[in-house]
Amino acid sequence: MVDIGFIVVVLFLMIGSGMVKWKNMKNNSSKAMFFTVAGVIAVLIVVCINRKNYSIMNLPFMRGMVMSMYHLMKG
């Protein structure tokens, strides 16, 4: 799903965005939010490199809700 090209582009965009917007992050809450999102991206990329899909439909509650609605509408 995610290859080295995508990771390079994302790194480029993140570093560029951080450099350009650093002066706009005037308080700690803004900086904390930026680095939290950067961390989330890193985790997601690791997940994607493992080539595993973590489908929302694999959640039993979600699948149950969607499929029961489907059967209700179909029936």
Partner 1 sequence: MQDRMKVSSLQMSLLVGSLLIASNMNTMPTAITMAAQQDAWYAYLFPIPYGIGMAYLMWRLARYSPEKNMYEIMQQACGKWIGGLMNGILIAYLSVDLISQLRIYSDFFNSSILLRTPLIYILLMTMLLLAYYAGGSMEHLFRTNVVFITLFLSFYMFMPLFLLNEIDLNKLKPSLSSGIFQPVKGGVLALGSFTDLIIFGAFLHHVRKPRDIYMAMKMGVIYSAFMLTIWLFCVVSVVSPILSSRLIYIGWILVQQIHITDFLDRIDLFLISLYVPVLLIKFAALYIAILTGVASFTKQKKFDFINLPLGIVFTILAAITFDNTDEVSLFYAFGIFPISVVVQVLFLAALFIGMAARKKKSMPADMGITGYSIGVWLTVAGAIVTVLAGSTVGNMHGYYGTICASLFVILVVLCVYLSIRDYGTGVRRNG
The residue type of 7 is: I
R_g of the chain, CA atoms, integer Å: 19
Q: Is 1 in the site for partner 1 (CB under 8 A)?
A: yes
Q: Is 62 in the site for partner 1 (CB under 8 A)?
A: yes
The residue type of 70 is: Y
Neighbouring residues of 52: CB distance < 8 A, sequence distance ≥ 6: none
Window 14-53: contact mask with partner 1 (x via CB under 8 A)? x--x---x--xxxx-xx--xx--xx-xx--xx-xx---xx
Q: Which of 44, 36, 31 is nearest to 2 (CA)?
A: 44
Kindly list the residues in this chain that would bind partner 1 in the complex (CB under 8 A). 1-2, 6, 9-10, 13-14, 17, 21, 24-27, 29-30, 33-34, 37-38, 40-41, 44-45, 47-48, 52-57, 62, 65-67, 69-70, 72-74
